[in-house]
Structure 1
Amino acid sequence: MRSSGKTPAELDEEGLVKLVAKGDRAAFEELYRRTAPWLAVRLRRRCADEQIVAEVMQETYLAVWRAASAFAGAAVGGTAVGWLWTIAARRLVDAFRRRAHQARRR
Structure 2
Amino acid sequence: MEAQAKSNSRNRSEESVTHALEVGSHLHSITEAISYIDERAQQIASATEEQTHVSHDINKSLHNINDVAAQTADNIRQSVAAGESMSRMAAELKALISRFRL
TM-score (norm: length of structure 1): 0.28
Structure with the larger helix share:
2
* Structure with bigger RCO (C-alpha 8 Å, 6+ apart): 1
